[in-house]
A and B are shown apart, each in its own frame.
Chain A
Amino acid sequence: MKIIVCLKQVPETNNVTIDPITHNLDRRGLAGVMNPFDKHAIELALSLKDTADTDVTITLLTMGPDDYADSLHEGLAMGADEGVLLSDRAFAGADTLATGYVLAQAIKKIGNADLILFGRQAVDADTGQVGPIVAEFLHQPQITYAANLRLSGPNEVTAERLLEDTKQTLVAQLPAVVSVRSELNTPRYPTPRQIQLSFAKPLTVWHHDDLELDDQRLGQVGSPTIVTKVYAPAPVKRELTPLTGTPREAASQLITALKDRQLI
Chain B
Amino acid sequence: MSTTTAAEKLLLQMVDDYTQKEIAPQDMPMDAAGDFPAGFMEKLTATGFLGLMLPQEFGGAGFGPEITATVLNHIARGNASTAVTLEGHFKTIDQLLKYGTPALQQQLLPTATDRIFAFSMTEASGGSNPMSISSTATREGNHWVLNGDKIMITNGGLAEVYCVLVKTAPTELSVFVVDQDMPGFSFGKREDFIGLRGTPVGEIVMDHIVVDDDHLLGNLGDGGLIGDSAHDDARVLMGAVLTGIMEHELKIATDYAKERKAGDQPLTALQVTQRKVADMAIRKETTKLLYQQAAHLKALGQPYSELAAMAKAHGSRAAVSAGDDALQILAGYGYSREYPVEHLIRDARALEIAEGTVEKMRSAIALAEFNH
A192 with B49: CB separation less than 8 A: yes
B11 and A193 within 8 A (CB): no
CB <8 Å contact, A191 and B47: yes
B48 near A196 with CB under 8 A, answer no
- Render A173-207 as a binary contact track against B, CB cut-off 8 A, 1 for contact: 00000000000000001111111111100000000
A74 proximity list for chain B (CB < 8 A): 10, 13
Known interface pairs A70-B6, A73-B6, A199-B7. Does A193 touch B13 (Cβ–Cβ under 8 Å)? no
**Chain A residues with CB under 8 A of B18:** 189
The reply to whether A189 and B59 contact each other, CB–CB distance below 8 Å, is no
Q: Find out whether the CB atom of B6 lies under 8 angstroms from the CB atom of A199.
A: yes
A135 at the interface (CB under 8 A from B): no
Residues on A with beta carbons closer than 8 Å to the beta carbon of B6: 70, 73, 199
Q: A189-B17, A189-B47 are in contact. Are A70 and B10 (CB under 8 A)?
A: yes
Instruction: Select the residue from A33, A77, A189 with max chain B CB neighbours within 10 A.
Output: A189
- The residues of A that contact B158 with a CB separation of less than 8 Å are none
Q: What is the count of residue pairs linking A and B with beta-carbon distances less than 8 angstroms?
A: 53
**B340 in the interface (beta carbon within 8 A):** no
Q: Which of B287-333 contact A (CB under 8 A)?
A: none
**Whole-angstrom distance between the alpha carbons of A245 and B17 in the complex?**
46
Query: Which residues of chain A are within 8 angstroms of B13 by Cβ–Cβ distance?
Result: 33, 74
Find out whether the CB atom of B51 lies under 8 angstroms from the CB atom of A195. no
A191→B61 contact, CB < 8 A: yes
B185 contacts chain A at the CB level, 8 A cutoff: no
With contact pairs A193-B60, A194-B48 given, residues A73 and B10 touching in the complex (Cβ less than 8 Å) = yes
In the complex, residue of chain B having the shortest beta-carbon distance to the beta carbon of A77: B10
In angstroms, Cα B6 to Cα A190, docked, is: 14
Chain B residues within 8 Å of chain A by Cβ, number: 21
Q: Which residues of A contact B51 (CB under 8 A)?
A: 191-193
- CB-defined contacts of B47 to chain A, threshold 8 Å: 189, 191
Query: Is B36 located at the chain interface by the 8 A CB criterion?
Result: no
Residue of A nearest to B53 (CB): A192
Give CA–CA (A190, B14) in the complex, Å: 7
Q: B226 near A: Cβ within 8 Å?
A: no
Q: How far, in angstroms, from A49 to B13 measured CA to CA in the complex?
A: 25
Q: C-beta contact mask, B261-292 vs A, less than 8 Å → 1, else 0?
A: 00000000000000000000000000000000
Shortest beta-carbon distance from A78 to chain B in Å: 10
Q: Is the beta-carbon distance between B17 and A192 smaller than 8 angstroms? A: no
In the complex, which residues of chain B have a beta carbon less than 8 angstroms from the beta carbon of A198?
A: 7, 10
Once the chains are docked, how many angstroms separate the CA of A73 from the CA of B5? Answer: 13
Contact code string A74-102 (vs B, CB < 8 Å = 1, else 0): 10010000000000000000000000000
Is B10 a contact partner of A190 (Cβ separation < 8 A)? Answer: yes
Least CB separation from A76: chain B residue: B10
Instruction: Looking at the assembled complex, report how far the CB atom of B155 sits from the nearest CB atom of chain A, in whole angstroms.
Output: 19
By beta carbon, the residue of chain B nearest A194 is: B48
Does chain A have a CB within 8 A of B187?
A: no
Residues of chain B touching chain A, judged by Cβ–Cβ distance below 8 Å, are 6-7, 9-11, 13-14, 17-18, 47-49, 51-52, 56, 59-63, 113
9 contacts between A and B (CB under 8 A): A191-B48, A192-B11, A192-B48, A192-B60, A193-B48, A193-B62, A195-B61, A196-B62, A198-B7
Q: A73-B6, A77-B10 are in contact. List 20 more A-B contacts (CB 8 A).
A: A33-B13, A70-B9, A70-B10, A73-B10, A74-B13, A190-B10, A191-B47, A191-B51, A192-B11, A192-B14, A192-B48, A192-B60, A193-B48, A193-B61, A193-B62, A195-B10, A196-B7, A197-B56, A199-B6, A199-B7
